[in-house]
Amino acid sequence: SLGDRRAELGRCGSQMHALSPLAVLDRGYAVVKSGEAIIRDAAQVEVGDRLQIRLARGEISAKVEK
């Protein structure tokens, strides 16, 4: 029925929102980049490297100290 299809569409929309990158940032996570590379491991950076940190609202520049 049309009601069932609307309910399913609503569930799919909610699922898509929960998995969106911006929703993940809203939960307190961040995306850290060095140049164009996304940092997933501390071994990818060295002391003195500059990092760009993307938050849910805004960005921060940082420098690796240790």
CB 15 within 8 A of CB 8: no
pLDDT of residue 19: 79
Position 44 scores a pLDDT of 97
How far apart are the C-alpha atoms of 13 and 6, rounded to whole Å?
10
Res 32: pLDDT: 97
**Dihedral sign computed on CA atoms, order 29, 35, 40, 42:** negative
Q: What confidence score (pLDDT) does residue 48 get? A: 97
Return averaged pLDDT per consecutive 10 residues of the chain, 66 residues in all: 87 83 87 96 96 96 96
pTM of structure = 0.70
